[in-house]
Amino acid sequence: MNKEFTPEDYVLRATDFYYKGELGMAIESLDLAIEMKPDFAEAWYNKGLTYSVLGWVDDEISSYNRALEINPDYAEAWNGKSSAHGRTGQYKEALECAEKALGLQPHIAAAWCNKGAALSGLGRELEAIAAYDKAIEIQPGYLEAWFNKAVSLHNLDKLKSALKVYNKTLELKPDFPEALYNRAGLYTTIGESDKAVADLGKAIEIDPSLRHKAMADESLKPLLSR
C-alpha cells in the first residue's frame, strides 16, 4: 500500500485498470481502498461492476449488498444487483431491485431496461415492452432496450411490430448477431426465406457459434444448406 494514496486515489486507479481490461489489478486497488475506508460504498459498488465483467456473480451481488448496507439509497447499486439477479434467472429479485433503483432515481435508463428484462422473464411481456419504451424515451439510442423490445414483441407473435423494432436495432448496430439471427427466424415465419438466409448467414459470419444454435432449430436448420 502506498501511504501517500487516499482511498479515492485507489478507486481512480481501479477505474483506470478496469478500462484497460486489467480486472485483477482493479480488484486489488479496490481492496486497498476498502482496507483504508471499509465504509466506502463507491468502492464496493465498483468492485461489483468489476466482478460482473469477470462473471463472478455471487461476488458481484455480495459487493452490491455491502454498498447498500452502507448506503441504502444507492440507486446504481440496486440497479447493478437487478442486472446480476436477471443474469442468473432470479427474475422476481431482479424486478424488486430495479423498482428500488427507479424509486430512488426514475431516470436511470438501464434500470428500466433491467425491469423490462425481469418482467419478460416472468412472462409479463406487455409490461416489459412498456418498461423498454421508458428506457428508450430516456436514452433513444439504447441498443439493448430496442433489442429486448423486439424479442418481447416476437414472443407475443406481434410479428410486424417486432420486425420494425429488429430493423431499428440493426440500424443502431448492423453487426448485431443475435438481432440478425432473430430476424432470420421471423422472416422464416412470414415466408421471406431469401431474407432469412441472408440474415442467418451474416449472423453466423459474425458469431460462428450461432450455427450450432441454428442446427437445433427446425425452422432455421434447412436454411443452412442454401
User: Is this model's pTM higher than 0.95 or not?
Assistant: no
Q: Return the domain boundaries, the chain.
A: 174-226
Q: What is the DSSP letter of 139?
A: S
**Tens digit of pLDDT for each residue in 75-114?**
999 999 999 999 999 999 999 999 999 999 999 999 999 9
Radius of gyration of the chain (CA): 20
Q: Which residue has the cell 459474425?
A: 206
Residue 17, helix vs strand vs coil: helix
Chain CA centroid to CA 204, Å: 22
**Tens digit of pLDDT for each residue in 191-206?**
999 999 999 999 999 9
- Number of Cβ within a 10 Å radius of residue 153: 24
